[in-house]
Chains A and B, each alone.
Chain A
Amino acid sequence: MDEKFDCIIVGAGVAGLAAAMTLAKNNMKFLLIEKGEFPGSKNVSGGVLWGSDLNKLVPNYWEEEDGGWDRFINHRRLTFMDEQSSFSVDFKSSHFNEAPYTGVVVLRSKFDKWLAGKVEEAIAESDFAMDSFVAPNILVEEVLEEDGKVVGIRTGEDKFYADSVILAEGVNNLLTRQVGLQDKYVPADHMLTGVKEIIRFDQDVLENRFQLNGRSGMSNEFVGAATNGVEGGGFLYTNKDTISIGLVLGLKDLREKEQTPYDILNHFKKHPAVADMIRGGEVVEYSAHVVSSGDKRVMPEKLYKAGLMVCGEAANLLMNAGKAIQGMDYAMRSGILAAEAITKAKEKEDYSEASMKAYQDALEDSYVMKDINNFQDAVHLLHDPFMVDKMPNLICDFGRNFFSIKNEPTKKARNMFSDSVKKHASYWDLVKIGAKGAKAL
């Protein structure tokens, strides 16, 4: 492989695969490098892939009998917890039953491998069927630069050259740091650690327990006692015959509160509401991974330099603003936009910094950066200590009173709420959080 590629993509996760698929369809010659044994083998996510961009990459993907995804989401639930109770906002609608779906649950080891297979098919149909590659088991150690422009990569003794490089290396973005687009040391302040278990059930048991029908699925997020006082939250997603259950925990808060993530995960699993959902299941995998918070303070300001672009979580493109944890969809869109910018750069034969900037401009113009910019206040609000502790406690306290039927005169709901507020917080707290919430959402 002495010849030069149009593009080398580092990392075959969602961002790298989306970029590769777009390049293959645009008849570009590229090399997609993955350090794991196969695409997806090193990747962990919650995870729901939100939105419908997957349909752009693999049209009518749902028609395939055994596609890479597990279930589509038509049932959402947000649960506030104290130690004994759970109070949920629950929404289910047949509106979400028709393809193209607006969210599919995926397991990355399966999904990324499947998507990589689709990329291979697209390569085979391109002009570079014999010259573009998906190459696993290779660790990129260095991005090569000459005269201020990125010209390729080095792995061990081997060097590969290209007009452009896309870094889609994930949140632990060592190469992005190496080329100077991210600080060498990224502090814990706006980062989270995710821990997760895959729990297997008989498929019938799973479908009956979670009221699933065919390939429908549920997503459930948790706030409050789930995290044992540490900033963050919990999640539960239904896969085909397993569930993904876990926590994301603020790393700085975890450090300050001197807690261990796996003990908090057991605390979460012991909660009466959760214990009833997971009873009889068998844990088949335990995993962990660092996650970005969506706080712009941790994101690289510049996502490009001459001959180089940064995509997906390597650019910290991930956000939880209370509605959903979005990351894989941002990765997908950013990969597509980077590949489109490189296709244009090739037409103009211009891989300069100014030409690469078109990628970041397109990203800023897309829903990805518009949402991240618009919902910064919501991200900060979610990480407010009030949301971890006082808010779920007062909601559950109110729920307990409201739903308790005793043979004695009942207070009006307004007065019950007032009692719960006084017990766990103050009206001033509520006014403050209400004002923040109104601004944020």
Chain B
Amino acid sequence: MKLLTLPERLGLVSYRNQAKSEIKPHIKVETDICNSTCPHHCTTYVCPANCYTKDENGKVHFQVEDCIECGTCMYACDQGAVSWEFPDPEIGRGVTWNFG
């Protein structure tokens, strides 16, 4: 069977408050730490939703919109750059699984 790319996979996820343009991010990342002292930038490859990316200059960026609340980055980041909360049901994003 055809293998899916990550964007195709994330296209199957039901996110909450998807119609709202303004959401309150439930994860805060101090990318200054990523882009100064962090030796591995591991979130850019361990995150199952690829919320952490590197630009052409090797700088780490974070976006919360695709986050599926798995928690991986909270454990993987050993540099203290990730502050992780659960999304607010009213003004956050996060997921509603159809199967789970």
Q: Which residues of A contact B (CB under 8 A)?
A: 35-37, 40-45, 107-110, 112, 137-139, 171-172, 174, 185-188, 191, 193-195, 197-199, 242, 244, 251, 254-255, 258-262, 266, 269-270, 275, 278-281, 283-290
Contact = CB atoms under 8 A, between A and B. Distances in A.
Given A174-B85, A193-B48, A283-B4, A186 B75 contact: yes
Interface in B30-79: 40, 42, 45-46, 48-50, 68-72, 74-76, 78
A15 to B, nearest CB: 15
B86 A35 contact: yes
A109 B14 CA distance: 12
Contact of A285 (B40, B74, B78, B99): B99
Interface residues of B, number: 39
Contacts of B45: 258-260
A193 B71 CA distance: 8
Given A193-B46, A255-B42, A288-B48, A278 B97 contact: no
B97 A290 contact: no
B78 A286 contact: no
Contact of B76 (A35, A188, A280): A188
A108 B100 contact: yes
Contact of A280 (B1, B68, B84, B87): B1
Interface in B1-41: 1, 3-4, 6, 9-10, 12-13, 16, 40
A199 B12 CA distance: 12
Contacts of B42: 255, 258
Given A139-B86, A172-B71, A255-B40, A260 B100 contact: no
8 contacts: A35-B86, A187-B75, A251-B75, A260-B50, A261-B46, A261-B72, A284-B98, A288-B70
Contact of A109 (B4, B46, B74, B98): B98
A283 B13 CA distance: 11
Given A139-B88, A188-B78, A195-B48, A110 B99 contact: yes
A174 B88 CA distance: 14
B51 to A, nearest CB: 11
Given A279-B1, A286-B13, A43 B100 contact: yes
Nearest to A188: B75
A283 B85 CA distance: 29
Contact of A287 (B16, B74, B88, B100): B100
A289 B98 contact: no
Given A108-B100, A261-B48, A278 B1 contact: yes
B78 A107 contact: no
Given A36-B96, A44-B97, A107-B100, A138 B46 contact: no
A360 to B, nearest CB: 25
B12 A37 contact: no
